[in-house]
Structure 1
């Protein structure tokens, strides 16, 4: 039998003496899915030695002890898997796919809400144990050991695409050059965002010492010709042109909007999403997995959490709430929705992969939610909350949840003494200006082609000039 330790063993640091990663099992004997998983782990343990590589700890999510609560507080958030691999400092190396997922009941809870029972079998759990071990060694700088395990996973070519994809990342040792994390990702929301990212990449090639140097290229149009002295002034000129365009679009299309309330909510959410992204301009990949504060998640884990909340947890609740009223046959469970959204396999490797995945999830959700009518905002539904809440509240939460994590990211970056370059801060301002244009044109992108075309032409011209200036 597996020699399960308890949360007291963890807080007595017994796992550190073992030299092994922790296999954390958030168990509830009230749930048949957890009991099935428990039995399956015992079967695996009887057949091979994979579990001997772990320090196994099991805690109860039903009437938990005080130490159980501490572990649950640190490892169960929204739709979190009940099996996780922990480093010696308590941070996570791996969250299992396919196993049951639970959401923490946050007000003096005595239980966690079971989101789904999982779709696990023995082969899938074994492959997740293997990739969890590989990721533990990968994140703890034991590349040779991690690669050995990853090679075996690839050779098996099992039915677990999650483990296979992450093993490929470990073997390829994909690393960013450290110059930029976020701006290397695939921002495919529109031609405008693609042009803007190119502009910012060229702007960031300019050294800070040159931002006040005389600008040798074209002046701005109209009165802007008096404010095109240097890169600094030009950066804010570009920002203002974005804002002016956003305002003009809003004035033109605003009266034609059918669901103004929902538009304002989604605009706030998208604006905060772009603000969250902009904070990562210039942040090197090497900072993503640092645990800067005890009991706090890493930057990467925060982003993965945001993707999961937006794409697979809160987003699903919103879609099912609307479908329950209009299209009951379209209601789906967590696992089905997760398969459509896609597993987050970019929780190791380059940040660009992570942000590319997030972009696809966010864009899909925006396109699904923009059809919600203002008359539907008062519809109520119950999830883990003791009482039903309105659809408006669930939509509002998408935006303020990102503000919560923006504050967390900024605190973590401060703790790591991250100091952005001046051109990084200029880039952040421009990127957030672009977000205003996206928000004002939401749902009217085709009707705003002329405004977009002139704006993109200006951005492309300035991008070319920034590139030339950076070479001087």
Structure 2
């Protein structure tokens, strides 16, 4: 038995059948120039059990990515992103139930990406393919609120493929959700932290506590101590105290920049660029204040990524894409060598597969925190002159590292817009307190930007500010507890 593939011209007809017959689309994006794709044909799709499972449980569609016609291009641009898997299980509305881990990874065909061909062999086997098909079918059943069927499929995946860590981890995660009637526990809240520095932890605590307080308490009499100095006149309610905390962070940045100008270390263009990224990063992080994990996999917009896919992509892009290209270009430039792109296979070999299929919001944000801080540290060594080093990647010609960092800044802002749009389409409205809490992250980004490239600078002042903000977090928690107790 072999897989009977439909093609791009059958795609929309099969989407309609998928809805009527309650059977997902298996989308395979294929190229005869892709070593991993050819390996799949030889070793996976030729397996009789794999072919039988595909025929019984899916509508298989293969779209060839080499010299595509318009119908193929439309599908490719919807379903291939930089470093996105090329095997996907789709719902009738073209949103994704599942993306295969270990599949060869390719790039979309949009302008600006046409010249890239990331050929990675992948590491799927017939067994791992069948394991992930079970997981994908379980996720499809879970989305359709068929909890008993979902549990059965996840149990089967765990039992039949007990040595496949990726499958077991993901099936276990979603099995718990199915057993809980589809309820997904929120994981990023005031009881656990994703940030790491004392100042960031204090701000996160304060922001998450503020976001938990009902909006009607914004103007309630404040239970804590008045602010220092002239701020004493603006400490009568939670609203004023949050704005005070935001301003204290911004004022800290003003003082730190002034002292650095006097005593060093002086700002460089690299530090300023990384400071802009820190601000963009903290504002991106602030989007998730008050967002429950249950919204991670919502797909309210036809054919568009979920919040999980956007967040996982941003994390992946910073560590698996920008980082190796920037550091590789820097190393070659310092050695006087011409620019050269890093093969995608090298990145996968070094760092493994990107995240994204089942991690909790807390896990994804904590990973992003580690990735972001490590990148900032490593990029800080780029000198002013080295910003002019040329870097090769998917553009038609090499670009300067300065431009590469500028685009690095822009990337989380781009996906922040997408996530905000998904939240809006999902009916999730940030409360006034959520919005005030988000301002605290903006203030944190402003304060931290003033410290880029200055490790150990202003330590006493940072500690003092963290103590003040932690006190505010404690006071806000007391206000919340008073309301809860009453």
- For 1:228 and 1:383, the matched residues in 2 are separated by 52
- Cα distance change, pair 110–229 in 1 and its aligned pair in 2 (3 A): closer
- For 1:451 and 1:5, the matched residues in 2 are separated by 65
- For 2:329 and 2:124, the matched residues in 1 are separated by 27
Q: Is the 8 A contact 1:21 1:86 kept in 2?
A: yes
Match in the other structure for 1:2:
3
| Deviation, structure 1 residue 471 | 2.7
- Cα distance change, pair 254–411 in 1 and its aligned pair in 2 (3 A): farther
- For 2:386 and 2:267, the matched residues in 1 are separated by 10
Match in the other structure for 2:130:
126
Task: Say if 2:292 is the partner of 1:288.
Answer: no
RMSD: 2.7
**Alignment map for 1:333-412 (pairs within 5 Å):** 333-335=343-345, 337-338=347-348, 341=351, 343-348=353-358, 350-412=360-422
Q: Is the 8 A contact 1:224 1:237 kept in 2?
A: yes
**Alignment map for 1:397-436 (pairs within 5 Å):** 397-436=407-446
Q: Is the 8 A contact 2:293 2:360 kept in 1?
A: yes
Question: 2:29 aligns to what SS in structure 1?
Answer: strand
Match in the other structure for 2:450:
440
- For 1:337 and 1:312, the matched residues in 2 are separated by 6
- For 1:375 and 1:202, the matched residues in 2 are separated by 44
| Deviation, structure 1 residue 77 | 1.4
- For 1:429 and 1:394, the matched residues in 2 are separated by 28
Match in the other structure for 2:202:
195
| Deviation, structure 1 residue 325 | 3.4
Match in the other structure for 1:104:
108
- For 1:191 and 1:323, the matched residues in 2 are separated by 33
Task: Say if 2:306 is the partner of 1:298.
Answer: yes
Task: Say if 2:282 is the partner of 1:274.
Answer: yes
Match in the other structure for 2:45:
42
- For 1:449 and 1:191, the matched residues in 2 are separated by 11
> Quick check: 182-191 or 26-35, which moved more?
182-191
Q: Deviations over 1:154-173 (max 9, x none)?
A: 33455543222211211222
Question: 2:448 aligns to what SS in structure 1?
Answer: helix
- For 2:224 and 2:113, the matched residues in 1 are separated by 62
Match in the other structure for 1:33:
36
Specify every segment of 5 or more residues in structure 1 that has no aligned partner in the other structure, as ranges. none
- For 1:340 and 1:380, the matched residues in 2 are separated by 23
- Cα distance change, pair 247–339 in 1 and its aligned pair in 2 (3 A): farther
- Cα distance change, pair 442–108 in 1 and its aligned pair in 2 (3 A): closer
> Quick check: 234-243 or 132-141, which moved more?
132-141
Equivalent residue in structure 1 for 2:224, among 217, 235, 240: 217
Specify every segment of 5 or more residues in structure 2 that has no aligned partner in the other structure, as ranges. none
- For 1:433 and 1:250, the matched residues in 2 are separated by 15
How many residue pairs get matched? Answer: 470
Q: Is the 8 A contact 1:162 1:343 kept in 2?
A: no
Match in the other structure for 1:149:
153
> Quick check: 394-403 or 166-175, which moved more?
166-175
| Deviation, structure 1 residue 24 | 0.9
> Quick check: 234-243 or 383-392, which moved more?
383-392
- For 2:63 and 2:237, the matched residues in 1 are separated by 60
> Quick check: 280-289 or 459-468, which moved more?
280-289
Task: Say if 2:248 is the partner of 1:245.
Answer: no
| Deviation, structure 1 residue 436 | 1.5
Question: 1:72 aligns to what SS in structure 2?
Answer: helix
- For 1:125 and 1:142, the matched residues in 2 are separated by 23
Equivalent residue in structure 2 for 1:462, among 462, 472, 476: 472
- For 1:337 and 1:184, the matched residues in 2 are separated by 35
